Amino acid sequence: MNPIMIDFPDEFYTERLVIRMPKPGDGKVVSEAVNASIEDLKPWMKWAQAMHTEYDSEVGIREAHVRFLRRENLRLLVFLEGFRAVYSFFELT
C-alpha cells in the first residue's frame, strides 16, 4: 500500500490541547519554544545544541509538513487550547 493512502487526522483536540501537523508559518512559534528551553534540551537532544533562527525553524516546519502529507514522518505540534505558543512536539515514524 502506498503510504499516501493512509488516512490520518491533521488535528486532534482534547479539553486542553490542540495537537496538529506542522503548517507553514509555525517556524516562529517553534523557534521561540525551542530557544526558551534550549539549556534544558541540550543534554538530551542533538538538534538543540544551538539557538534556532526563525528562518531555520520555518524551513524545518515546511519540510515536516511535506513529510506529514506524504506520510513519511508524522510530526505533531502540541498547543495549549487558546494559546499560540507551542507547548511540545513529537514524531511518529
Q: What CATH number does the domain containing 27 carry? A: 3.40.630.30
**Tally of domains within the chain:** 1
Contacts of 1 (CB under 8 A, 6+ apart): none
- Give the domain range for residue 77: 3-92
* pLDDT given at position 93: 74
pTM score of the predicted model: 0.88
Q: Is the dihedral of CA 19, 20, 24, 27 positive or negative?
A: positive
Question: Average of pLDDT values for 5-14?
Answer: 94
Neighbours of 66 (CB within 10 A): 12
91 forms beta bridges with: 75
Residue with cell 512536539: 89
Q: Tell me the C-alpha distance between 50 and 39, whole Å.
A: 9
Strand 11-13 vs strand 17-20: parallel, antiparallel, or unpaired? antiparallel
Q: For residue 84, is pLDDT > 80? A: no
Q: Average per-residue pLDDT in the chain?
A: 92
Q: For residue 90, is pLDDT > 90? A: no
Please, are residues 78 and 88 in contact by the beta-carbon 8 Å criterion?
Answer: yes
